[in-house]
Amino acid sequence: MSLKRVLRILLKDFSIGPRKPFFIWALVMPFALTLLFQFAFGALFEPQPRLGIVDLGNSALTAEAKELEGFTVTLVDDPEELLNRVENHDFDAGLVLTAGFDQAVRKGEKPLLQFYMSGESLASNRIIIAVTTVEMIRGLEGAEPPVEVNTVYLGEPGLPISIRLVPVIVFYALVMAGIWVPSASLVEEKENGTLTAMIVTAAKAGEVLVAKWLLGFLFASFLAVATLILNRAFGPRPLEVIAVIVIAAALTAEIGLIIGIISKTATMLFTLTKSLGIFLFAPMIFYLFPEWPQWIAQFFPLYWIMEPIWEVSVMGQSLSVVQFELLIALAIITGLIPVIILLKKKIYA
On whether the CB atoms of residues 70 and 49 are closer than 8 A, the answer is yes
pLDDT of residue 278: 78
SS3 72: strand
Q: How far is CA 6 from CA 2, 18, 202, 210, 299, in A?
A: 6, 20, 11, 7, 35
Q: Any idea where the domains of the chain sit in the sequence?
A: 3-41+160-348, 50-141
Query: Which pLDDT does position 337 carry in this prediction?
Result: 93
Q: How would you write the pLDDT of the chain (349 residues) with one tens digit per residue?
A: 678 888 888 888 888 877 788 788 788 888 887 777 766 665 444 567 889 999 988 888 888 888 887 788 899 988 899 989 988 888 888 989 888 888 888 887 778 788 888 876 766 677 778 878 877 877 776 655 444 434 343 344 455 566 667 778 888 888 888 998 999 988 888 888 777 666 655 567 788 889 999 999 999 999 999 888 887 777 788 899 999 999 999 999 999 999 999 988 888 988 888 888 778 888 877 777 777 887 888 888 888 998 898 888 878 889 999 999 999 999 999 999 999 988 887 775 5
Sign of the alpha-carbon torsion through 325, 297, 314, 215:
positive
Q: Are 178 and 327 in contact (CB under 8 A)?
A: no
Q: Which of 195, 199, 339 is nearest to 255 (CA)?
A: 339
pLDDT score at 147: 41
CATH architecture of 50-141: 3-Layer(aba) Sandwich (3.40)
Dihedral (Cα; 5, 10, 11, 16), 10-degree rounding = 130
Instruction: Look at residue 150 in the predicted model and tell me its pLDDT.
Output: 46
Strands 93-97 and 72-75: unpaired
pLDDT at 251: 95
Whole-angstrom Cα distance, residue 141 to residue 150? 23
State the pLDDT at residue 156. Answer: 44
DSSP 298: G
